Structure 1
Amino acid sequence: MENERVLTVSLEEFGLSKYEAQAYVALIAKSTISASELAYYSEIPRTKIYPTLLKLENKKLAIISKSKPIMCTAIAPEDAFDGIIHEQINKVNAMNSLVSNLKKASEESRKTRGSEEKRYFHVSANNVLVQLQTMIEGSKSSVKIMTDQWGFGLLAECKEQLVSVARRNLDIKILVPPTQICSESYRKIPDGIEIRASEITQNCFMFDETELLLVNNDNGKGAIFSSTDILSSNQEKIFSNVWKNAIKTEALADMSKTEAQEIYKIIKTVNEMGLTYILNSTMLSKRPESDMFKLLEKNGISFKSKSLDDVIEIMDAVMQITCSGHVYFEANTRNITVESKLNSGHSLPWASILDGCLQKQGYKTRTIYQNNANKGEKIHIKIIKN
């Protein structure tokens, strides 16, 4: 009974009236029956059964006998509805054609206005990690990533995929916030992948310069943009600019997080405020290096409790990061060499800090500056006596 009701409702969607649908379903179930029997089985009032049968006959869904009592038979569904189905198909095809033409007209209109529609794919929060792993694994030439703390934690779960692409010698670069240097997530990133630190506030994953995965750290949802020339180009430029000015972290990799954060703070402080202090010191102070110490101490950085070896180790890491250089200490000659591959005085602030630290610890020093246009610059700090 319930099945018959479902069939009746479905037939109504084909354009039959309620009585027509009830009558046809009853005829299908009972084969050839009289009009009065049909009224009984279909629960149609007797006064309505004959007009209903005539309508079914006109629609070629039933056959009515000319003799009395009037007998009626349903036409098989495959024959009865073949025409209706084709009519519906034609209507759908016509609608599809109309939509296509409207879409084409819309696109042509956009082109004349200089605009073009692009699409992107939504990624649910539950699928973002799997999608990220898939996109990393499928990269062909490059993987460039900018992440905040949340995104870096997500990336750390892709260690297996990162190892795979690193073995294929892809160009892999990762930008993270300074707070993530030597963090737990940082330790999970495979060796050989370059990580730099900058003030990152977004989660943008770029693959082969043609695919982007953007992830919202508020809700974990993502969006994939493929072959989007303008968006890819803009993100690539943003990444390159941030990367160029970001702090290298390779020299900090074996340090504790506290040590690494201290060195980052030293570099950030000197880079942002050092020039002003040096200029002021040149004009006002007899000991510019002392003013550099005041700058560091003012920002919570102190060398008082550190040994000479500790200070040299810190300055060596700083030189590697800022100047692609090193600090060497020759115990026999008591010489310290501050070496930079960059010219134009890039090493001077750090040599000044190192010299000032030595003097604070009671050493007397003499400084010699050497500049070679092809090889960079060197500053020799000669320790005269303690």
Structure 2
Amino acid sequence: MIIMVNEHVLTVSLEEFGLSKYEAQAYVALISKGTISAGELAYYSDLPRTKVYPTLLKLENKKLVIISKSKPIMCTAIAPEDAFDSIIHEQINKVNAMNTLISNLKKASEESRKSRGSEEKRYFHVSANNVLEQLKTMIEGSKQSINITADQWGLGLLAECKEQLLSVLRRNLDVKLLIPSSQICSEMFRAIPNEVKIRVSDSIQNCFVFDETEVLMIDNENGKGAIFSSTEVLGINQNRVFADIWKNAIKTESLADMTKNEAQEIYKIIRIINEYGLTHILNSIIESKKPDLDMLKLLEKNGINLKSKSLDEIIEIMDAALQIKCSGHVNFDAHTKNITIESKLNSGHSLPWAYILDGCLQKQGYKTRTVYQSNSNKGEKVLIKISKN
């Protein structure tokens, strides 16, 4: 039964080489049985007896069989490697001609697109099972820079590429990573090498841009990826979008040694102050004349309660926030009982944080006096002088 199935497959395949059905059946029978008579061929090949001799003559003309001159007529198949050599070369020539035709048609199509100001670019699908290995390969192959935006799922993939990241960082590549706020100080966050610059933004997709030319995008729902290679427009555009988000994203260096809850709290405070801080201060000055206490109310309204924290804890929070927002610091002089808030940026960047700290001090029973100083070259400074009521 297996032989019959194979013979049928061979017969069909020979028909694709240009043999007729009868010719294919006859040749396969001769290959299987060796030298046999015309009558036996009719039996084994299932050919009508009246068709055997004409079929043999056609096969002989095609140099696929040898027919004896004696009677009864005996026939033998020529070995396949000899019989089909010319046919194979003929097929190869046809394929080559077709490839040449397709190449010429492609060139004509590309020239037509270029003349119309358009050019076709391709992208490659990556299966979910191969995305991680592809990501590792692309990281290792980078020459200058890698810009990454990743959600929790993408960050998990990246955490598995630590060895590759360390390799490119040793070559002084610039690696930047944008993550959502939910991943600050998470386990996967800590798996990323320290030399990777990480900032926080909630405008996130899984997009990896290598050397501004290759883009790997990954769908976090099905795990599949797509690679866009040598795409100048896409790569440059993605980098511009990345640069805009990066500029306004929140730095994470000062949060690295904190617990996830501590880091999340500071991020939340920063987000509240970013959205409402200066406006709230101006309204408070106009209405209540107590912007410091009103800043605490603003935080409490948004779920942040600093009342239960010690002065040292509050100073630590403010110091981290200032480092992130304006490359600043909070310094407490235990001898003079003064607190200095410094910011490298002017235009009142330090004021919301000074008012929060001032409000906390007043809540803890301290009397304060605030002095604001600004220097166009050195930034601004707020001095909070403390005395006990």
2:250 to 236, 247, 251: 247
Partner residue of 1:310?
Answer: 313
CA distance in 2 between counterparts of 1:189 and 1:378 reads: 35
Change (3 A) 1:190 1:30: closer
1:234 to 237, 240, 254: 237
- Structure 2: gaps of 5 or more residues: none
Partner residue of 2:156?
Answer: 153
The reply on whether 1:81 has 2:84 as its aligned counterpart is yes
Partner residue of 1:372?
Answer: 375
1:331 to 328, 331, 334: 334
Q: Secondary structure, in 3 states, of the residue corresponding to 2:383?
A: strand
Q: CA deviation at 1:220?
A: 0.7
Q: CA deviation at 1:30?
A: 5.1
CA deviations on 1:271-300 (whole Å, 9 max, x unpaired) are 101122122112211212222122111101
Partner residue of 1:99?
Answer: 102
CA deviations on 1:88-126 (whole Å, 9 max, x unpaired) are 222222222221122112111211221111122221111
Q: Secondary structure, in 3 states, of the residue corresponding to 1:164?
A: helix
Change (3 A) 1:156 1:200: farther
Structure 2 counterparts to residues 1-386 of structure 1, below 5 A: 1-2=3-4, 3-29=6-32, 32-65=35-68, 68-386=71-389
AA aligned to 1:339 is E
Q: Secondary structure, in 3 states, of the residue corresponding to 2:353?
A: helix
CA distance in 2 between counterparts of 1:236 and 1:310 reads: 38
CA distance in 1 between counterparts of 2:80 and 2:182 reads: 72
CA contact under 8 A between 2:178 and 2:204: conserved in structure 1?
A: no
CA contact under 8 A between 1:148 and 1:200: conserved in structure 2?
A: no
CA deviations on 1:34-56 (whole Å, 9 max, x unpaired) are 43333234332322222222332
AA aligned to 1:220 is G
User: Percent same amino acid at aligned positions?
Assistant: 77
Change (3 A) 1:44 1:314: same
CA distance in 1 between counterparts of 2:334 and 2:121 reads: 65
Q: CA deviation at 1:31?
A: 5.1
State which drifts further: 15-24 or 365-374: 15-24
AA aligned to 1:17 is S
CA contact under 8 A between 1:147 and 1:200: conserved in structure 2?
A: no
CA distance in 2 between counterparts of 1:192 and 1:22 reads: 71
CA distance in 2 between counterparts of 1:377 and 1:48 reads: 105
CA distance in 2 between counterparts of 1:51 and 1:194 reads: 81
Alignment coverage as a number of residue pairs: 386
Q: CA deviation at 1:210?
A: 2.1
Change (3 A) 1:364 1:14: same
AA aligned to 2:42 is A
State which drifts further: 67-76 or 373-382: 67-76
CA distance in 1 between counterparts of 2:249 and 2:37 reads: 90
Q: Secondary structure, in 3 states, of the residue corresponding to 2:134?
A: helix
Q: CA deviation at 1:231?
A: 0.7
CA deviations on 1:159-178 (whole Å, 9 max, x unpaired) are 22222222332212111101
CA deviations on 1:331-379 (whole Å, 9 max, x unpaired) are 1101100011111211111111111211122111111111122211111
Q: Secondary structure, in 3 states, of the residue corresponding to 2:294?
A: helix
